[in-house]
A and B are shown apart, each in its own frame.
Chain A
C-alpha cells in the first residue's frame, strides 16, 4: 500500500515473466473525442456523465487519496496517474518483467450511465482508445471489451464488433450491475462472449444505484471497499443458481480486484443450501461448488493477508492453483508489488501458473 517503488531491475537476472491481469491506464474524456459522434461529444460536454450517484465529480465514497492512486504514480510531466505511457513504462511495465498486461479502464467508459445510448457510445469510444491510444503504442497492453452491460443489445453489438480481434482478451463488466448478473436480461451478453471465445471479467466498482449493502448505505470508504467482496459473492451465487453455466457451458468468469479469500466459503454455503433446496433449482446438474470450481478465475489483488502463511496457502488451494492469476492494480493505492506479493515457498510450477500461465491459457495469449 502506497509503496514507494524501489525501481527494481531484476528481470535481467531472472526468467520470471509476468502477465498482469489488471492495470488501469487512464483515459481522459478528451482522448475519446475522435471516437465519439458530434452528438455524443456535445451531450458529454453539456450533460456530463450521470453515474447513479450524487456528485458531479468524484465518488459517492471519497477515496483515501487523489484518484485512489499511489502517491508516486503521478507522472512528472503532468496528467493523471496511468495517463502517461512513458512514465508507466518506467515505473511499472519495464521496471518489472511484465510480458503482458490486461487493461481494465474504469472511467470514463459509459458503464452504468443512466443514459443507455450515451453509455454505449462511450464504451465503443473507450474500446477504440484502448487500441489506438495504448495497444498500438505498446503491444504488451491487451484490451478488454468494455460493454454497456445495462443495455443488452448494445453490449452484444459491441462484443460482435470486436470478435476475432485478438487484441481484446475479455469482455469487461463492473461488479455493481443494476441487477444480479445471473438474471436473464444479461444472458445474450454471455452468449456473445462465448461465441467470440472471450471470458467475462467482472471488475469491482460501478454504481448500481442501489445501496452498497442490503441494509442500506454505509458511511465510509473502508466499508465501500469491504462491500466489493460481498457484491462478488452475490454475483457468484446468482450466476450459478440461475443456471447460466448449464446454458453456457463454455462461459468463463474472472473476478477482478475482489480478492479471493471469500470464494471457497461461497461454494460451501451454496452447497449446504442446495442440499436442502435442490427442488428450487432443478436446472442445476451438480453441486454449486462444482460450477464455481469450473467456471471462475480470480485476480490476486488485493492479495489476501492472512494471519499466518499456511492459511493463505489453504485459501489458494481451495480456490484452485489453476484459477489464480496475478494482478497488480497499477497505479492504484492498493497496488500489489509483483515481486513481493506471492507467499514464500510456492514451488516453481505454482508460481509460473499464477504469474503468467493461468492467464496465458485463459486469455489464449500467443495462441
Chain B
C-alpha cells in the first residue's frame, strides 16, 4: 500500500531518458536494429536544451539530474513537502513524423517509466505518453497502460498539428475520461508549426514565453469545440504554464462568448465557468512579482481556490527553495494547492490515498 497523502502531491517532475539505449529493453529487435543501423541519436526534444539555465537548477545538476530514480526521489522529496510525485517524461515521442516510430517510442517510454521508476519508488506516479501522430495508436496506448493504476494522467505536448479541441482528437478524451485520467498539457512542441503564430522567433526565451500563448489557444479550442460538453468528467491540467495569463484570457474568452455564442451553441455557459470546473494549473513557474499585494490580487483574479496544483517542476529551475510554494499564499489555500486540489484532480491518487 502506498503511503496516505499527508503533505501533498508534486504534480510535475521530469525523469529523463538518459539515452536511447536505456529504451532498448523495451523495443523489439526490428526497432533496436533500425535505430542502430540508422544512427538515430535519440528523441530528446529541443524544448529544454540541457545547458539552458531553465532546464536544470544549478544545485540539481550533479551528474544529470532526473536520470536516476534515487537521485530524483532524494531531491524531490528532500524538503518533505510531498508524499507523491507525478513523473512527466518529456522525451520527444510526439516528434517523429513516422506514426510507427512514434508508437514504438511511446510504448518504450511508458514501459521504461514503469520498470525503472514506478517499480523502484512507491511514491512515484506517472503520466502516459502517447503517439499523437495517430489517434488510434494514441488510444491503444492509453488502453494498454491504463490497467496500471500508477499511471494517473495522459500527457501531451502543448502544440500539435491541429488545435487540441478538434474533433479528430476526441477518442483520446473519451479514453482518458473512461479511465479517470486527466489530460496533462505540457510545454513542448511537435514542431509541426512555428513556435509562435508569427513564425520562428530569434530567442529561446521567446520560444519558452510562447507556451503561454499556446495554452490559451488550446484552452480556447477545447472549450469552443465542446470537448467539456461532450466529456463532462474530463479534467485538463496545464503544466508548467505560469498562471498570470489565465484570468485575463478567461475574461476575454467569456466576453467573446457573450457576443459570439451562436457560433458555438454547444458551449452553454461562460468559458470561465467551464474552465474553473475542468482545467487546473500547476504552480511552477508562479510568474507573479513576489510582493504580497500583487500575489493577493492575482489570487483574487484567478477566482477559485481549486485552480492551482503544487509542483516543483524538477529539475527545471523555476525557484530556489526546496518548497515550490510561492510566498504570501494563505495557509488554507496552501493546503488546497498541496493536497486537496491534486486529490480532486487525479482520481487515481485519491484511490491510493483512501
Question: Which A positions have Cβ atoms within 8 angstroms of B?
Answer: 1-2, 64, 176-183, 208, 210-223, 225-227, 229-231, 233-235, 237-238, 241-242, 259, 261-262, 264-266, 268-274, 276-277, 279-281, 302, 304-307, 310-311, 314-315, 333-334
Contacts and interface: CB of A to CB of B under 8 A. Distances in A.
A222 B162 contact: no
A280 B244 CA distance: 24
B198 A226 contact: no
A233 B203 CA distance: 15
Given A215-B217, A234-B213, A304 B251 contact: yes
Interface string B3-42: 0000000000000000000000000000000000000000
Nearest to B167: A219
B244 A210 contact: no
B163 A216 contact: yes
Contact of B220 (A2, A218, A242): A218
A269 B260 contact: no
Contact of B203 (A2, A216, A234, A281): A281
Given A218-B217, A218-B221, A241 B206 contact: yes
> Counting chain A CB atoms within 10 Å of each CB, which of B224, B254, B317 scores highest?
B224
B54 interface: yes
B192, B195, B208 pick with most chain A CB within 10 angstroms: B208
A310 B218 CA distance: 28
B252 A272 contact: no
B193 interface: yes
B297 interface: yes
Contact of A219 (B166, B214, B248): B166
Contacts of B162: 215-217
B213 A214 contact: yes
Given A178-B199, A215-B193, A216-B160, A262 B166 contact: no
Give the top 5 A-B pairs by smallest Cβ distance, nearest first. Answer: A261-B248, A213-B217, A265-B244, A230-B213, A215-B159
B229 to A, nearest CB: 14
B225 interface: yes
Contact of B193 (A210, A266, A268, A314): A210
A234 B210 contact: yes
B256 interface: yes
B70 interface: no
Contact of A280 (B160, B161, B203, B317): B203
A179 B198 contact: yes
A43 B195 CA distance: 36
A265 B221 contact: no
Contacts of A242: 202-203
A219 B225 contact: yes
B67 interface: no
B127 interface: no
B218 A215 contact: yes
13 contacts: A180-B198, A210-B197, A212-B197, A215-B161, A215-B218, A219-B166, A220-B264, A223-B224, A226-B217, A226-B256, A238-B196, A277-B208, A314-B301
A268 B287 contact: yes
B189 interface: yes
A219 B224 contact: yes
Given A270-B205, A302-B255, A314-B301, 18 more contacts: A2-B259, A180-B206, A215-B158, A215-B164, A220-B225, A229-B248, A233-B245, A237-B210, A241-B206, A262-B252, A268-B287, A272-B242, A273-B54, A273-B208, A274-B205, A307-B303, A311-B297, A333-B259
A270 to B, nearest CB: 6
Nearest to A305: B255
Contact of A273 (B163, B201, B205, B252): B205
B213 A221 contact: no
Contact of B198 (A177, A222, A265): A177
A269 B217 contact: no
Given A64-B262, A183-B202, A235-B198, A304 B248 contact: yes
Contacts of A302: 252, 255
A280 B54 CA distance: 12
Contact of B245 (A177, A221, A262): A262
Contacts of A334: 259
A49 to B, nearest CB: 21
B292 interface: no
B260 A225 contact: yes
A268 B212 CA distance: 12
Contacts of A225: 256, 260
B289 interface: yes
Nearest to A180: B198
A170 to B, nearest CB: 21
Nearest to A230: B213
A273 B242 CA distance: 11
